[in-house]
Amino acid sequence: MTQYLKVAGILFAICAVAAICLGFINEVTAPQIAAINRAQTEAAYQQIAPGFTFGEEREGEGVVSYNIPLSKDGKIAGYILSLTGGGYGGSFTLVAAYNADGSVLGAKMMGNSETAGLGKKSEESWYMKMFAGLGGDKPLPNSKNDLEDPNLVSGASITFGGVTKALKAGSEYVRNLGGK
């Protein structure tokens, strides 16, 4: 019995020291990480929807975490949505700006665990430009074969499928909002 208690005590002590060290590092780094995340999100909004006035954040539903109305000349002209999708490395978050008719203005991949050199390409600006203007009169692609150059997303078809599915869901969500 004493032997078991001794072993448990040593393992507990190792875990406790590790937890204290991690707690201390977390305390130091958490505010910095939160500030970086805020700055990155705000920069993404400016990048995907330049020239608009941003409204208050509103709660979304389904794959849409929240929406932010975009105004121009006092009228709602579109929305920014935070979308959750599924990629090769698990779920990802992307922010997308839409016109009120559901067509994509711009999008940016945010938190993700996609493979570097393959799915990670979705973080680059040229990647999301493939979807700009689509989702309204012109449909979003169903597969990479609908692209002019499918080789651009070779090796990362699952990421591409996940991004397309999320953007389609966002487009439908915006149309259902009906400009409100």
Partner 1 sequence: MANMKELTKGIFRENPVFIIMLGMCPTLGVTTQVFNAIGMGAGVIFVLLGSNIFISLLRKVIPDSVRIPAYIVIIASFVTIVQMVLQAYVPALYAALGVYIPLIVVNCIILGRAEAFANKNTVVDSILDAIGMGIGFTLSLLLIAAIREIIGAGTITLLNLSETTRIVITLPVISKSPVRVLTLAPGALLVMGYLKAYFSWNSERKAAKGGNV
The single residue among 5, 7, 63, 178 that binds partner 1, judged by CB under 8 A, is 7
Nearby residues of 108 by Cβ (< 8 Å), 6 or more positions away: 44, 47, 48, 94, 95, 96, 123, 125, 128
User: Could you tell me which stretch among 7-15, 48-56, 135-143, 170-178 binds partner 1 (CB under 8 A)?
Assistant: 7-15
When the beta carbons of 32 and 56 are compared against partner 1, the nearer one is 32
Nearest to 76 by CA among 53, 57, 59, 95: 53
* Site membership for partner 1, residue 22 (CB under 8 A): yes
| Cα torsion 53, 57, 59, 62: sign | positive
* Site membership for partner 1, residue 1 (CB under 8 A): no
x/- binding map, residues 119-158, to partner 1, per CB under 8 A?
Answer: -x--xxx-------------------------x--xx---
The single residue among 5, 32, 148, 178 that binds partner 1, judged by CB under 8 A, is 32
Q: Strand pairing partners for 59?
A: 66
User: Could you tell me which stretch among 21-29, 77-85, 134-142, 167-175 binds partner 1 (CB under 8 A)?
Assistant: 21-29
Nearby residues of 156 by Cβ (< 8 Å), 6 or more positions away: 88, 114, 115, 118, 119, 121, 122
Nearest to 160 by CA among 103, 85, 99: 85
Task: Give the residues lining the site for partner 1 (CB under 8 A).
Answer: 6-7, 10-11, 14-15, 18, 21-22, 25-26, 28-29, 32-33, 36, 40, 89, 112-118, 120, 123-125, 151, 154-155
